[in-house]
């Protein structure tokens, strides 16, 4: 068990008082970055990268990765309290987290989100510790057709779970795809749907749409019913954490499944955001209480949060073993390695043992530090809901505006956010579901790119999506999920008849 | 700038004491934080160079005001260029460019040209290397191109970053030189391309050295030739057997093609000479630091630098070359 | 809580028709631009406009059906989309927010935020002046420290920051 020895050595490196202090500083900064929409994990780490230039590399990466853990934790807070996802991967957390908060169970939702994040991260770190070399090769098997099948799987896992009218669900999803297509087309380098407006060159950012549709739209809806947030009755003491912990073991199966989905999506690398959507969709389909998802189920918070954190953490595995960024944040960290004078890539494990194991040890410790920080703050966060509406509402709008602006440092995005806000309000009232729109917006261009790259590779032959066991299995599984309701009905009939 | 820094500081201080408006007559200095625009995403080559510069400037206290890196990657960098173009006369914005300075306006017709900006300094030129998977049988560029040719049109796949940008331009030029015909697969970033090559999803790539060096050292990729007129100067061994300087030029290997990518600094149009000179001096100091030199060696950059008219002429000439290359390839916007 | 006496500002049917028409127009625009780009399946796979074309087509088809259903169905027509009082509430937030967005452009985000929060607290919250000032200024100062000083993320600034030498 060479890994255990190395890991213990890593703990020795990471546990110096200076590094532990950096861990807590990093986690707190990360939570702040995660709470502010727009200032995402990748941006946050990039912004704070120069701070670490004068530190030893191991300390630097400990601090930066803790910022990342903090951001992963922090994204859930505003999702649950105000329906505003602080990070893309916490969109799925709003589906049940926000209804929970409205029922006065904000504390439970937060505690469940943080704890599941921790569990997801823990599973991913254990995977990194013991299986890195085995798993690393797996990521290399992913070419464009495999990526497309993963995105297809995400869609299929999620589609059909919204309760709205089929026509409106389709409309909503197609609007998402159309918005995702705006801007430069990766494959041909042509500008699409920009109509000569330079503001549209950069396309519609997912975060702007989400801040508007969910955040601003929700505030407008709330206002209709008077100047107050529901859920002000939220319990604000630490007991709520223990209460939630008693409930959580019931969802062990969901945790396990979501961790698996998350680790898979992190290593591939498909990303934390698709992981959270996929995990939510799968949990809804296979949970005994799947019908009740969306009305404020703790299980509906557990699924996306576990997967997002597992994916976010395991995304560092390809970075360490292959020098491949598994996520935008990992890409920035890779850049950091160069600045600190380290060579990222397959040899890192052999050449920089102290650095690598220090980092892995800090994944354990940083997540524990993160959990302690956020759990002790649960009452504090829940208490935010007690602030009078006339104070908190304008502050939220200010935060949203800053968030929208920082995504691209563009004023246009702030106006766009308001437009999306009104659209979100109207669409919600007319029963157009928003989740399919958001999913299509976040995955649309990636799915299209990988589809068309595959077509270039195969020279237009669609059978490429079944050309080997891996891609065929993924595509097949996606199709099974898509037609699951029909299949299930058929199975019942056969059994009955 | 003949004044010693102490004298210049004194001059600036004196000028400031009288009236800040006159500061430009002596040496100009930023009066607020400077935005360093990167017309590409976080984690890419331009971004790394910008953030390294930022870190060096901060570590060595080369500038009193903070330097802030801002990524504006939309529309193949058009977002960033238009932003700087619109900031005419603003001396607190600088932009680092790559080849998309030329390719983006030419390929998309976005209303922008480098003449809208003020050239400050060329920091370095980035190299392109033809890479194949180390497990493939091709030992040199000639063999590889011959194999691609005999396999038939479109059978060999070349992975690259973006569409109608430098990687595809090189691919097309390579095709014209050799008569081979590749299927070009565009990906979003250089890191992706290197991995796709390691995973054997494509047959070759023209990655920059820094994008592929890690995989080379690990024995996953093999460099065939470098698209420069001369061999690389870095003699330190990268793998057990080879140094950067051991990679033949493509011309030696029988493919007469060279292409280098600009890594340079520009400012918005309409700034004063003193303001431009400030940044020329600043980046001169950056280039003199050991951190910068180490970075250059690791990424096997061509360390040519230029300023002033020489730089301007070089940019004009390079733009013309891109126009020709892209016209031949049929990449110009209609 | 919907007030039963809140007179409707618009019927759900009307809004449904308007929204469907708007989305239809959006879909049509998407189709139009896709055709310009080329929407066929070329020799090496789909062209740039291929997917957007069908996406646009689906938008037009589905909203077309939604439109005609709303037109022909009588069931929805009596249901109010939003009551007048409720709409007034929504406007109380929306109009100042739009004003805020315009203000950001004019005076920078920090001054605009201070004014916006203060306006809201005084007007809707009826908070005392001292509390209003403390919260409004406090929030802006915290954000200024956070973004400009610590994170070094430049946000839009106006004449006041320039005058204070803070930009």
Domains of chain B, residue spans: 22-126+261-329, 129-246
Return the closest-CA partner of residue B128 out of B304, B292, B262.
B262
Please state the ipTM of this predicted complex: 0.92
Q: Give the pLDDT of residue B16.
A: 43
Which residues 107-166 of chain C have a CB within 8 Å of chain B?
A: 148, 152-154
Q: Retrieve residue B176's tokens.
A: 């014209």
Helix (H, G, I), strand (E, B) or coil at B36: strand
Report yes or no: B161 and B186 within 8 Å, Cβ to Cβ: yes
Do the beta carbons of residue A114 and residue A76 sit within 8 Å? yes
- Quick one: which of A119, A90, A23, A72 has its CA closest to A438? A90
Cβ proximity of B218 and B135 under 8 Å: no
Can you state the percent helix, strand and coil of chain B, rounding each to 5? 45, 20, 35
Closest chain C residue to A220, measured at CA: C90
CB neighbours of C40 closer than 8 A, spacing ≥ 6? C46, C47, C50
> Do B183 and C44 lie within an 8 Å CB cutoff?
yes
Q: What is the pTM of this model?
A: 0.89
Lookup: tokens for A139 = 């990521």
The answer, for C167 touching chain A at a CB cutoff of 8 Å, is no
Give the start-to-end residue ranges of the domains of chain C.
8-82, 84-164
Helix (H, G, I), strand (E, B) or coil at B73: coil
pLDDT of residue B9: 46
User: pLDDT tens for residues A45-93?
Assistant: 887 887 777 788 888 888 888 988 888 888 899 899 989 887 888 899 9
Residue B159: which residues within 8 A CB-CB, separation 6 or more?
A: B185, B187, B193, B196, B197, B201, B202, B204, B205
Contacts of A39 in chain B (CB under 8 A): none
pLDDT at B2: 40
Q: Find chain A residues with C-beta within 8 A of C31's C-beta.
A: none
Measured torsion, CA atoms of residues A421, A426, A432, A438, in degrees rounded to the nearest 10: -10
Given this model, what pLDDT does residue C136 score?
Answer: 95
Tell me whether residue A393 is exposed, middle or buried, using C-beta atoms within 10 angstroms of its C-beta: 0 to 12, 13 to 18, 19 or more: buried
Residues with Cβ within 8 Å of C34's Cβ and at least 6 positions away in sequence, in order, are: A192, C49, C50, C52, C53, C56
**At C2, is the secondary structure helix, strand, or coil?**
coil
Residues B3-18, mean pLDDT to the nearest whole number: 45
**Chain segment A254-294, per-residue pLDDT in tens:** 999 999 999 999 988 888 889 999 999 999 888 888 888 88
Residues of C in contact with B66 (CB under 8 A): 152
Task: Enter the DSSP assignment of B248.
Answer: P
SS (H, E, C) chain A: CHHHHHHHHHHHHHCCHHHHHHHHHHHHHHHHHHHCCCCCHHHHHHHHHHHHHHCCHHHHHHHHHHHHHHHHHHHHHHHHHHCCCCCHHHHHHHHHHHHHHHCCCHHHHHHHHHHHHHHHHHHHHHHHHHHHHHHHHHHHCCCHHHHHHHHHHHHHHHCCCCCCCHHHHHHHHHHHHHHHHCEECCCCCCEECCCCCHHHCCCCCHHHHHHHHHHHHHHHHHHHCCCCCCCCCCCCCCHHHHHHHHHHHHHHHHHHHHHHHHHHHHHCCCCHHHHHHHHHHHHHHHCCCHHHCCCCCHHHHHHHHHHHHHHHHHCHHHHHHHCCCCCHHHHHHHHHHHHCCCCCCCCHHHHCHHHHHHHHHHHHHHHHHHHHHHHHCHHHHHHHHHCCHHHHHHHHHHHHHHHHHHHHCCHHHHHHHHHHHHHHHHHHHCCCCCHHHHHHHHHHHHHHHHHHHHHHHHCCCHHHHHCCHHHHHHHHHHHHHHCHHHHHHHHHHHHHC
Nearest by CB: B217 against A46, A144, A345: A345
- Please give the Cα distance from A282 to A307 (Å, whole number): 11
pLDDT digit of tens for each residue in chain C (167 aa)?
444 567 888 888 889 999 999 999 999 999 999 999 888 887 777 888 999 999 999 999 999 999 998 888 766 556 788 888 889 889 988 999 999 999 999 999 999 999 999 999 998 888 899 999 999 999 999 999 988 888 878 889 888 888 887 76
CA atoms within 13 A on the CB side of A139: 34
pLDDT in tens, A386-430: 888 888 889 999 999 998 998 888 899 999 999 999 999 999 999
What is the per-residue pLDDT across A137-149, written as a single tens digit (0 to 9) for each?
A: 888 889 999 999 9
Q: Comparing C-alpha atoms, which of A327, A421, A302 is closest to residue A71? A: A327
Q: For B63, phi and psi rounded to 5 degrees?
A: -140, 140
Q: Has residue B172 got a pLDDT over 80?
A: yes
Q: Which two tokens stand for residue A215?
A: 């955040």
What is the Cα–Cα distance from C73 to C90, expressed in whole angstroms? 28
In sequence order, which residues have a C-beta less than 8 Å from that of residue A183 and are 6 or more positions away? A191, A192, A193, A194, A200, A201, A202, A203, A204, B74, B75
Could you report the per-residue pLDDT of A337-392, keeping only the tens digit for each? 877 777 777 788 888 888 888 888 988 999 999 999 999 888 888 888 888 888 88
The pLDDT, as a whole number, for residue A356 is 87
Interface test with B, best of A46, A208, A445 (most B CBs within 10 A): A46
Can you say how many angstroms the Cα of residue B221 is from the centroid of all Cα atoms in its chain? 22
The alpha carbon of residue A167 and the mean position of all alpha carbons in its chain are separated, in whole angstroms, by: 28
| CB within 8 Å: C44 and A455 | yes
Mean pLDDT to the nearest integer, B204-232: 92
Query: In this complex, do C120 and A394 lie within 8 Å of one another by their Cβ atoms?
Result: yes
Those residues with Cβ within 8 angstroms of residue B12's Cβ, 6 or more apart along the chain or in another chain: B23, B26, B27, B29
Is the CB of residue A434 less than 8 Å away from at least one CB of chain B? Answer: no
Tell me how far apart the alpha carbons of residues C155 and C144 are, in angstroms, rounded to a whole number: 9
Which tokens go with C62?
């589905």
Per CB-CB distance under 8 Å, the chain A contacts of C47 are: 188
pLDDT digits 0-9 by tens, B241-255: 999 999 999 999 888
Chains in contact with chain A (at least 3 beta-carbon pairs closer than 8 A): B, C
Helices (H) and strands (E) in chain B, counts: 11, 11
Contact A192 C81 (CB under 8 A): no
What pLDDT sits at residue C78?
63
Contact A226, A271 (CB under 8 A): no
Mutate which of A38, A339, A447 to disrupt the B interface (most B C-beta within 10 Å)? Answer: A339
B70-79 burial code (b ≥16 CB/10 A, e <16): bbbbbbbbbb
Q: Which CATH fold would you assign to the domain B22-126+261-329? A: D-Maltodextrin-Binding Protein; domain 2 (3.40.190)
Are the beta carbons of A170 and C62 separated by less than 8 Å? Answer: yes
- Contacts with C44 (C-beta within 8 Å, 6 or more apart), sequence order: A455, A456, A459, A460, B154, B183
Q: Evaluate whether A278 touches A447 at the Cβ level (below 8 Å).
A: no
| Residues in B touching C148 (Cβ below 8 Å) | 33
What gap in Å lies between CA C159 and CA C107, rounded to an integer? 6
Q: Which residue of C has its CA nearest to A194?
A: C33
Residues of chain C positioned with their CB less than 8 A from the CB of B33: 148, 152, 154, 167
- Helices and strands (DSSP H and E) totals, chain C: 6, 4
Nearest CA in chain C to B68: C152
User: Count of CB contacts below 8 A, A vs B?
Assistant: 159
| Alpha-carbon gap, residue B271 to A184, rounded angstroms | 31
Give residue B45's pLDDT band: very low, low, confident or very high (50, 70, 90): confident
Provide the 3-class DSSP secondary structure of residue C27: helix
Q: What is the mean pLDDT of chain A?
A: 87
Cα gap B193→B184, rounded to integer Å: 11
For B191, which of A324, A409, A453 is closest by C-beta distance? A324
CB-based contact A36:A86 (threshold 8 Å): yes
Query: Which residue in chain B has the smallest CA separation from C161?
Result: B32
Instruction: Round to whole Å and give the CA distance between A126 and A73.
Output: 19
CATH class name, domain B129-246: alpha beta
Contacts of B198 in chain A (CB under 8 A): 140, 322
The angle at the Cα of A298, spanning A293 to A304, to the nearest 5 degrees, equals: 75
Distance from C-alpha of A59 to C-alpha of A31, rounded to nearest angstrom: 19
CB contact under 8 A, A391 and C117: yes
8 A C-beta contact, residue A307 and residue A120? yes
* B30 or B19: which leads in pLDDT: B30
Of residues A301 and C40, more confidently modeled: A301
CA dist., res. A92 & res. A275, Å (int): 10
Asked whether the beta carbons of residue B32 and residue C167 sit closer than 8 angstroms, the reply is: yes
Selecting from B55, B79, B213 the residue whose C-beta is nearest the C-beta of A202 gives B79
The alpha carbon of residue C161 is apart from the nearest alpha carbon of chain A, in Å, by 17
Sign, CA dihedral B13-B14-B15-B17, equals positive
Q: Do C19 and A426 touch (CB under 8 A)?
A: yes
Using the Cβ of C120 and the Cβ atoms of chain A, whether some distance falls under 8 Å is answered with: yes
Overall residue count recorded for chain C in this entry: 167
Mean pLDDT throughout B128-143? 94
Place of tokens 């042509």: A190
Find all residues with CB under 8 Å of B46, minimum gap 6, and list them: B38, B39, B40, B96, B97, B98, B263
User: Are B225 and B140 spatial neighbours (Cβ–Cβ below 8 Å)?
Assistant: yes
CB contact under 8 A, B33 and C154: yes
Task: Tell me the chain A residues in contact with residue C62 when contact means C-beta distances shorter than 8 Å.
Answer: 167-168, 170-171, 174
Angle at C88 between CA C86 and CA C94, to 5 degrees: 110
Interface size A-C, in CB pairs within 8 Å, comes to: 178
Strand partners, C72: none
CA B71 to CA B45: how far, in whole Å?
Answer: 12
Collapsing DSSP to helix, strand or coil, C147 comes out as: helix
């Amino acid at each position: 068990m060479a890994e255990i020895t190395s890991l213990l050595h890593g703990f020795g490196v990471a546990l110096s008082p200076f590094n532990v202090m950096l861990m807590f500083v990093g986690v707190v900064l990360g939570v702040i970055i995660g709470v502010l929409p727009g200032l995402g994990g990748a941006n946050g780490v990039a912004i704070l990268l120069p701070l670490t230039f004068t530190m030893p590399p191991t300390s630097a990466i400990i601090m930066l990765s803790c910022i990342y853990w903090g951001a992963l934790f922090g994204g859930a807070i505003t999702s649950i309290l105000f329906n505003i996802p602080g990070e893309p991967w916490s969109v799925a957390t709003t589906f049940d987290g926000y209804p929970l908060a409205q029922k006065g169970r904000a504390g439970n939702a937060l505690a469940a989100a943080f704890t599941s994040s921790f569990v997801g991260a823990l599973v991913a770190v254990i995977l990194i510790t013991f299986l890195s070399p085995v798993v690393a090769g797996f990521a290399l098997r992913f070419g464009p057709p495999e990526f497309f099948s993963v995105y297809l799987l995400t869609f299929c896992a999620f589609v059909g779970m919204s309760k709205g009218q089929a026509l409106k669900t389709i409309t909503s999803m197609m609007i998402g795809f159309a918005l995702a297509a705006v801007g430069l087309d990766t494959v041909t380098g042509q500008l699409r749907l920009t109509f000569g407006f330079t503001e549209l060159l950069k396309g519609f950012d997912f975060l702007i749409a989400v801040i508007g549709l969910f955040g601003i739209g929700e505030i407008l809806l709330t206002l209709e019913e008077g100047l107050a947030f529901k859920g002000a009755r939220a319990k604000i003491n630490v007991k709520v954490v223990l209460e939630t912990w008693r409930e959580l073991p019931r969802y062990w199966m969901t945790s396990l499944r979501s961790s698996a989905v998350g680790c898979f999506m992190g290593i591939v690398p498909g990303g934390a955001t698709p992981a959270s959507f996929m995990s939510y969709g799968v949990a809804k389909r296979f949970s005994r209480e799947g019908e009740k998802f969306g009305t404020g189920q703790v299980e509906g918070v557990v699924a996306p949060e576990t997967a997002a954190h597992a994916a976010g953490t395991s995304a560092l595995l390809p970075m360490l073993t292959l020098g491949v960024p598994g996520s935008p944040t990992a890409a920035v960290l890779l850049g950091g390695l160069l600045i600190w004078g380290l060579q990222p890539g397959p040899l890192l494990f052999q050449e920089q043992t102290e650095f690598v194991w220090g980092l892995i040890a800090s994944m354990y410790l940083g997540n524990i530090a993160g959990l302690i920080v956020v759990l002790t703050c649960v009452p504090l966060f829940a208490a935010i809901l007690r602030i009078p509406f006339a104070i908190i509402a304008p502050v939220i709008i200010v935060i949203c505006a800053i968030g929208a602006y920082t995504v691209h440092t563009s004023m246009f995005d702030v106006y766009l956010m308001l437009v999306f806000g009104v659209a979100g309000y109207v669409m919600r009232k007319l029963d157009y579901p928003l989740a399919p729109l958001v999913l299509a917006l976040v995955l649309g261009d990636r799915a299209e790119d990988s589809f068309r790259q595959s077509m270039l590779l195969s020279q237009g032959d669609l059978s490429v999506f079944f050309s080997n066991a891996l891609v065929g299995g993924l595509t097949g599984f996606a199709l099974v999920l898509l037609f699951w309701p029909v299949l299930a009905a058929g199975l019942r009939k056969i059994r009955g008849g | 700038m003949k004044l010693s820094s102490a004298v210049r500081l004194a001059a600036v201080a004196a000028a400031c004491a009288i009236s800040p408006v006159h500061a430009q007559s002596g040496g100009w200095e930023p009066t607020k934080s400077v935005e360093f625009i990167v017309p590409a995403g976080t984690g890419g080559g331009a971004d790394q160079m910008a953030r390294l510069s930022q870190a060096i400037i901060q570590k060595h206290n080369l500038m009193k005001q903070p330097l802030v890196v801002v990524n504006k990657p939309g529309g193949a960098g058009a977002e960033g260029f238009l932003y700087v173009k619109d900031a005419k006369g603003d001396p607190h914005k600088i932009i680092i460019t790559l080849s998309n300075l030329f390719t983006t306006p030419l390929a998309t017709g976005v209303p922008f040209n480098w003449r809208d900006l003020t050239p400050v300094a060329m920091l370095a030129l980035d190299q392109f290397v033809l890479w194949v998977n180390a497990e493939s049988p091709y030992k040199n560029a000639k063999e590889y191109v011959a194999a691609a040719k005999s396999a038939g049109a479109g059978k060999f796949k070349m992975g690259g970053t973006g569409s109608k940008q430098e990687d595809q331009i090189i691919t097309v030029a390579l095709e014209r030189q050799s008569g081979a015909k590749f299927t070009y697969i565009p990906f979003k970033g250089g890191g992706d391309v290197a991995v796709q090559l390691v995973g054997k999803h494509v047959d070759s790539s023209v990655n920059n050295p820094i994008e592929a060096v890690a995989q080379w050292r690990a024995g996953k990729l093999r460099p065939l030739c470098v698209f420069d007129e001369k061999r690389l100067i870095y003699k330190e061994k990268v793998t057990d057997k080879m140094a950067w300087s051991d990679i033949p030029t493509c011309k030696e290997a029988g493919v007469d093609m060279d292409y280098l990518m600009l890594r340079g600094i520009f400012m918005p149009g309409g700034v004063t000479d003193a303001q431009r000179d400030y940044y020329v001096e600043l980046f001169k100091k950056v280039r003199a630091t050991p951190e910068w030199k180490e970075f250059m060696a690791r990424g096997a950059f061509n360390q040519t630098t230029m300023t002033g008219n020489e730089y301007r002429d070089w940019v004009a000439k390079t733009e013309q070359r891109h126009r020709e290359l892209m016209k031949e390839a049929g990449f110009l916007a209609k | 809580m919907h007030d039963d006496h809140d007179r409707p500002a618009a019927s759900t049917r009307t809004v449904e028709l308007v929204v469907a028409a708007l989305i239809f127009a959006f879909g049509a625009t998407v189709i139009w631009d896709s055709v310009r780009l080329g929407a066929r399946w070329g020799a090496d796979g789909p062209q740039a406009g291929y997917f957007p074309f069908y996406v646009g087509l689906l938008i037009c088809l589905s909203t077309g059906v939604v439109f005609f259903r709303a037109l022909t169905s009588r069931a929805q027509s009596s249901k109010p989309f939003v009551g007048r009082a409720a709409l007034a509430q929504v406007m109380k937030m929306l109009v100042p927010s739009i004003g805020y967005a315009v203000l950001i452009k004019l005076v920078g985000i920090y001054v605009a935020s201070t004014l916006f929060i203060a306006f809201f607290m005084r007007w809707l919250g009826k908070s005392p002046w001292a509390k209003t000032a403390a919260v409004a200024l406090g929030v802006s100062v915290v954000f200024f420290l956070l973004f400009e000083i610590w994170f070094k993320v430049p946000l839009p600034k106006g004449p006041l920051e320039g005058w204070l030498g803070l930009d």
